[in-house]
Amino acid sequence: MPDGKNLVEKLRESESVLRDKLGDYSPEIAVVLGSGLGPLAQRIEDAIFIPFADVPHMKTSTATSHVGRFVAGILGGKRVICMQGRLHGYEGNTAQEVAYPIWLMGAIGAQTLITTNAAGAINESYEVGDFCIMKDHINFTGRNPVAGASPNNIASRFFSMYEAYDLKLRKLGLSVASELGIPVHEGVYLGLLGPSFETAAEIRAFRTWGADTVAMSVCEEVIAARHIGMRVFGMSMCTNMACGIEGANPTDEEVLEIAKHREADFCLFIQTLLQRI
C-alpha cells in the first residue's frame, strides 16, 4: 500500500467492508496481541473472526505465531477488536502498512489502543517472565507512519507525543498487576526495525539512552494511534534478557517458549485491565 493521495479512500473502503462483517457490533477498545500472546483471543465471547486477507488494502501477517486476523467480541466485559497477530516492518511492510490497521480500528470507533509485545529486558534488575508497562518509547526504527502527504488528510501531521502512553491507564495497569500479584515494571521501551536481534554493544548503548526493554514492534502503531487521538496502553512481556546481559543470546524459540509459559498471567492481566477501564 504505497503512500498516495488515496490513503483516506482506501481506509474508507476497508472500513466499509469491516463494518459490513461486524454488523451492529461497534468496538470501543483495540487490542494488539504480540508474539506468542495470541491465545488471549480464544477468550473473546461472541467472537467474529475476520482474516486480514478479507479486508481490502490490509497486509497479512507472516511472522511465526501471528495468526493474522481481527477477532471482535466481548473481553473483560468490553467491546473489543483484537489483532491476533500484527504487521511488522521486518516483514517488508512500510511504516504506513504497519499503521494501517490502527487507523482502521480507530475509524470504526475504537478510542483506546492496548498494544502488547514480547521484548528483551535491557534493565538488569528485570527478570525473564516479568511484565513491563510502557511509560514512554524511543522510536529507533528510523521510520514514521505519518511521514508523507496522505496521512495529513487523516489528521494533522504535527501532534504531541508527550505522555503518549496514557498516565491514567498506566496507573490502572500498575494497580491491576499488584492486585493480581503479577510482577510488573514501568519502563522505557525501545523499538527497532529488526529482524536481526541486537548486538551486545547496541544494548549497552541503548541502556545509556534510558531504555529498559527492546523489541521490533509497537512504536509505529503508537504513533498512528496518537495521530488520531486514541488513548494508548502498552505492555511488554520480557521473554529474555537482551543480548550480552550475562551472556544472553536471544532466539525466536526462547521468546515463544517464555511467552507460552507466562500466557496465563498475561491473559488474566489484560482481561482484568479491560474490566477496570
Which residues bind to ligand HPA, rule: CB under 6 A?
Answer: 118-120, 197-198, 214-216, 239-240, 242, 250, 255
In the complex with ligand HPA, the residue whose CB is nearer, 38 or 106, is 38
In the complex with ligand HPA, the residue whose CB is nearer, 178 or 251, is 251
Q: Are strands 78-84 and 69-75 parallel, antiparallel or unpaired?
A: antiparallel
Sign, CA dihedral 259-102-228-148, equals positive
What is residue 240's DSSP assignment? E
Closest CB 189 distance from ligand HPA, rounded Å: 11
Q: How many degrees, rounded to 5, is the angle at CA 184 between CA 183 and CA 189? A: 145
In the complex with ligand HPA, the residue whose CB is nearer, 216 or 274, is 216
Closest CB 64 distance from ligand HPA, rounded Å: 12
Closest CB 20 distance from ligand HPA, rounded Å: 35
What residue is closest to ligand HPA based on CB? 120
Closest CB 251 distance from ligand HPA, rounded Å: 9
In the block, residue with C-alpha cell 504487521: 87
- Alpha carbon 198 to its chain centroid, in Å, reads 20
In the complex with ligand HPA, the residue whose CB is nearer, 214 or 222, is 214
Closest CB 174 distance from ligand HPA, rounded Å: 22
User: Are the CB atoms for 242 and 205 separated by under 8 Å?
Assistant: no
In the complex with ligand HPA, the residue whose CB is nearer, 37 or 255, is 255
Residue type, 77: G
CA distance 10 to 16: 10
